[in-house]
Structures are given as C-alpha cells and as structure tokens.
Amino acid sequence: MLRRAEGKVSTVISVREGLQVVRVIMRHSGKEERAVHYTDSSPPLRPGDVVILNVTAEELELGSGGYHIVLPADTMDSNLPDAECLPKGHIMKLKYTPLQRSVLAVEEENSRFHPLFQKEKTLEGMAVLLGELHSMLPVALCWLRYREQQPNQPVKMARNVAYIMTDGGALPLAWSQHIAQLEAMGWLQSTITYGQAYGGKLEAVNKFSALIAAKYAAKADICLVTMGPGIVGTGTRYGYSGIEVGELVNAVYALGGTPIVIPRLSFADERPRHRGISHHTLTALELAARCPAILPFPQNITEEYAIIQEQLNRLETHQIRMMPSVSAEQIAESLRLYPLPITSMGRGLWQDPIYFQGVCAAVDCAIQLHSPST
C-alpha cells in the first residue's frame, strides 16, 4: 500500500547532484519532518512549495533513514526539461511503473561504447570486490587510499576505481551520500548502475554488461560491487537481497575475473545468524555461488574462534585466504581521511571492529593479487 501525505517545504537542508533534502511541515500533524526530493525527474523545490509525500517506509518504521520521499511534480510543469534535452537512450528502468524513465545504456546502439559489446570480452583477471552491504564501499576505499600513503605499498593499481551498484537495495544512486562524497574527493572515478538501479555515470542492462563496462568503458583497475543502501532481510535462509553476492561470483568468474567476496563479520550482532560469519555470506557462497571465489579473512581472530573455524569449514569449495590482521587503531587512521561517519547496522568501528577488519582483509587481498611482486 502506498501511504501519502501532504506537506509544505519550509527549508532546503542540502543539495547534491540529482537530489535535495528538505524540511516539510506536515499538513495533518503540523510537525516538521525531513524528506528527499529527486531532481532528475522534477524541478528543484523552494520554501513554500506544497508537496505530496510517500510516507510508507517511515510509517512502517522500516529504517529508511528518517526521510519521506517527495512524489514527482506535475509532468506538465514548464520547468521540466524538454524532450530534446533528455538522454537519447531507449532502455527503460523502473519499467511499467508510473516512474519509468529511459536511460542511455552503455550497450545500446546510440552509446559510443556500443562497439565494445559487439565482440566477446573477458575481465582478464581483474579483481572484483563483492560486498553485501553498501557500508562496505566507503570502508574499502578508505583502506585503499590509506594503503596508498604507506611506504612500500604496491597500490598503483587503485588509481582508477569503478563502483557498480546493483538493484538489491536503493534504486537511485543519488540516494547514497557516500557515493557523492567519494566522487567529490576523487576517490571514485566511475559509477555504473544496472538492472532497475539508475543514476550511474554509466547505465547497464545487467550484471554481465556492467562488469564489462567497468573494465573497458570505465577502464577500471579495480571494481567494487555492492547494492545501494537498504538491504532487504526476512530472517529466513533464502529471503534476503544479499544472496545476490553468490550470483555475482558466478558472473565475475564466467567473465574471467577474480571474484573476491568481502565477508560480513560481527561479534556484536545479537542475532545468532549474524554472529561470526553472517549466514548471509555463508548462504550466498554455499547455495548461490556455483563457481569458486576467494574469501579473504583476517588472521589472529581469538574471540569465538571455534565458531569461525566451523563456519569456514562449510566453505571448502571456495578459497579461504588468511590475511594479516590490521588493528582497529590502523583502521581508525584510515577512516580519519574521510569526513562522513561509517556505520554498519548502526555500529561503528569501536562497537564491532571485526566487521571493518573483514573489509580491509578483502582490500589487502585485491592489492596482493594485483601486485606484480606477488
């Protein structure tokens, strides 16, 4: 059910490419609440504008970040772009919904990259880091850039980093504050969205063409793949969107890349299914992944070691790569390079350091595999 409410814009809080954050006085309650407005399909809002809001997620308390969503403005509004100014693509996203839109996909005839997809291509061994949670992306890039600053670290391979956003979470790339910040800092050179996700610098039809686009259109040295913010979970074995990690392993392997799975680790999560190695990682690799992947893991884990060892034994078809552990203090240094807070399930570095150590182990593995000296 779509739950709607009317409000009046009181303040524009912030603006970034494709998105405004505003405060809205709700008509039914008089309370001032936050809302997100996408400016790729509607003109920017100003104080005093009356808007209709999708309040479904907030009323259901789904943890959407504390924001309502502004529904699109009247399509007859004269401030909307002319059809001649719109992209010339004909691939539809959010298809057959009232919000469907056309994009110029990297594969299609009008794209300058179309010839790349006329011939068979492989990833030529490119390291592809596959993560379940969106928060893994800024942690990985913080550690990658931190490693660049250390003496005798072979990380020149990371000069051109591409990010692929799947459609397992948020669909508009503009929703991610981390993406906007990473691009502004020059840490992230290319963004690619596929499936029903949209808003990347490059658009792709599916995961296979998105990976090829990262290698040949974006010319990436390394690629990271995660869903957007907002993983779906139901507390069941199969009913969670992060199972796509196993499918991504298959795609990377089939295209001749090196799939490196970032483990989802926790010793702070009170839910037994997420303790140690999350069942999300285990199920994706045991069930969905039909091809072998590399699973980097931090060494010197003493807390609940027996649980971890039993979980690792379940993944015998994959290559467990034990990486030298890094301290929480080192990771804290890397996070100080980045101005935004990074949390996973509401927990920061000091509440659940093993989560961050797992991400760093995967990054170090990618660096090691790419280094000509190894």
142: domain CATH number is: 3.40.50
Q: Does residue 266 lie in a domain region?
A: yes
SS3 for 103? strand
Asked whether residue 158 falls in the same domain as residue 13, the answer is no
Asked whether residue 43 falls in the same domain as residue 145, the answer is no
Confidence bin at 218 (pLDDT 50/70/90): very high
Asked whether residue 203 falls in the same domain as residue 143, the answer is yes
As a whole number of angstroms, the distance between CA 82 and CA 185 comes to: 32
What is the average pLDDT across 17-44?
A: 92
What confidence tens digit (pLDDT) does each residue in 127-163 have?
Answer: 999 999 999 999 999 999 999 888 776 555 567 999 9
Q: How far is CA 243 from CA 52, 258, 360, in A?
A: 35, 19, 21
What confidence tens digit (pLDDT) does each residue in 337-346 have?
Answer: 999 999 998 9
As a whole number of angstroms, the distance between CA 329 and CA 3 comes to: 45
Residue corresponding to tokens 């996203």 = 93
Provide the whole-model pTM: 0.89
Residue 374, pLDDT score: 40
Q: Return all residues near 202 (Cβ < 8 A) that are at least 6 apart.
A: 106, 113, 190, 191, 192, 193, 210, 213, 217, 218
Confidence bin at 111 (pLDDT 50/70/90): very high
Contact 162, 202 (CB under 8 A): no
Asked whether residue 159 falls in the same domain as residue 33, the answer is no
As a whole number of angstroms, the distance between CA 198 and CA 47 comes to: 28
| Count of domains observed in the chain | 2
Q: Does residue 292 lie in a domain region?
A: yes
Question: What is the domain range of residue 19?
Answer: 4-70
As a whole number of angstroms, the distance between CA 44 and CA 64 comes to: 22
Asked whether residue 199 falls in the same domain as residue 65, the answer is no
- Cα 176 from chain centre: 8
Asked whether residue 264 falls in the same domain as residue 366, the answer is yes
Average pLDDT score, the chain? 90
Q: Does residue 80 lie in a domain region?
A: no
Asked whether residue 194 falls in the same domain as residue 274, the answer is yes
As a whole number of angstroms, the distance between CA 178 and CA 341 comes to: 9
More confident residue, 97 or 177: 177
Asked whether residue 310 falls in the same domain as residue 203, the answer is yes
Contact 24, 68 (CB under 8 A): yes
What confidence tens digit (pLDDT) does each residue in 41-66 have?
Answer: 789 999 999 999 998 877 776 655 67
Q: For residue 34, give the CATH number of its domain.
A: 2.40.50.140
Q: Does residue 102 lie in a domain region?
A: no
Q: Does residue 151 lie in a domain region?
A: yes
Asked whether residue 162 falls in the same domain as residue 27, the answer is no
Asked whether residue 177 falls in the same domain as residue 276, the answer is yes
What confidence tens digit (pLDDT) does each residue in 281-326 have?
Answer: 999 999 999 999 999 999 877 767 778 888 989 998 999 999 998 9
As a whole number of angstroms, the distance between CA 329 and CA 334 comes to: 9
